């Protein structure tokens, strides 16, 4: 945990974003930029015309084949190759309500479709081990699938702790977990940790 954000910076981030009621379209990329600054993470790269070179970008294009053979253009809100597919939402809904959970579940299902739609050359080393849903101004949700097959993503590290509320960013362990998710997601694989212990 060598890059812990100073308490005053965390407080400033929380005050700026907590209960923000703007639109996802206007706020998502700024929120991610602020989060990257806070956690000393690299900013997403500018997008390139050659999609295969877009390893860490906003609005990562993936073609989707329709049943009739035509293609539909879809875009991942934030993509980091070998790490995650991230979907942004701004539900403006109270946490822990049914309508809020439905919105998060829909975002996870959408992200799973994106994971499975990644071109074969993009997943040479396997599909991303994480899906992340960011509800701007509310919370961050993490889901993992460490086999990298694009199978069933489950709440990470478990259903009780997969929701990271903005206030939770005060915890150095939470900050460390998010940094590792961004930079070294395989270090969070519990099976690898268990293998090291035994």
pLDDT in tens, 125-154: 899 999 999 999 999 999 999 999 988 999
> Is the pLDDT reported for residue 48 higher than 80?
yes
> Is the pLDDT reported for residue 39 higher than 60?
yes
**Stretch 19-46: mean pLDDT:** 92
- Report which of 124, 129, 151 is spatially closest to residue 142, judged by C-alpha positions: 129
Q: Over the chain, what is the mean pLDDT? A: 91
Whole-number pLDDT of residue 198: 46
Domain regions of the chain by residue span: 7-197
Report the alpha-carbon distance of residue 19 to residue 74 in Å, rounded.
29
**Stretch 166-186: mean pLDDT:** 97
Instruction: Give me the helices (H) in 75-130, please.
Output: 98-117
Tokens of 121: 């050359």
> Is the pLDDT reported for residue 92 higher than 50?
yes
Tokens of 155: 């709440």
> Is the pLDDT reported for residue 58 higher than 60?
yes
Whole-number pLDDT of residue 119: 87
> Is the pLDDT reported for residue 1 higher than 60?
no
Report the alpha-carbon distance of residue 22 to residue 147 in Å, rounded.
37
Report the alpha-carbon distance of residue 7 to residue 5 in Å, rounded.
6
Whole-number pLDDT of residue 93: 82
> Can you give the length of the chain in residues?
198
**Stretch 36-58: mean pLDDT:** 94
Whole-number pLDDT of residue 51: 84
């Amino acid at each position: 945990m060598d890059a812990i954000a100073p308490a005053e910076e965390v407080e400033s981030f929380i005050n700026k974003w907590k209960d923000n009621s703007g639109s996802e379209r206007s706020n998502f990329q700024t929120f991610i930029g602020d989060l990257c600054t806070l956690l000393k993470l690299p900013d997403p790269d500018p997008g390139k015309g050659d999609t295969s070179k877009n390893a860490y970008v906003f609005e990562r294009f993936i073609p989707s084949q329709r049943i009739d053979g035509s293609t539909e253009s879809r875009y991942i809100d934030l993509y980091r190759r070998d790490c995650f597919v991230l979907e942004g939402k701004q539900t403006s809904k109270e946490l822990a309500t049914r309508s809020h959970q439905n919105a998060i579940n829909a975002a996870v299902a959408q992200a799973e479709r994106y994971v499975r739609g990644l071109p074969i050359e993009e997943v040479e080393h396997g599909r991303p081990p994480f899906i992340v849903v960011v509800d701007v101004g509310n919370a961050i949700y993490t889901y993992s699938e460490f086999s990298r097959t694009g199978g069933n993503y489950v709440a990470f590290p478990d259903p009780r702790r997969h929701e990271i509320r903005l206030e939770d960013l005060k915890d150095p362990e939470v900050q460390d977990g998010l940094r590792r998710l961004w930079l070294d997601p395989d270090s969070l694989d519990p099976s690898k940790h268990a293998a090291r212990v035994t």
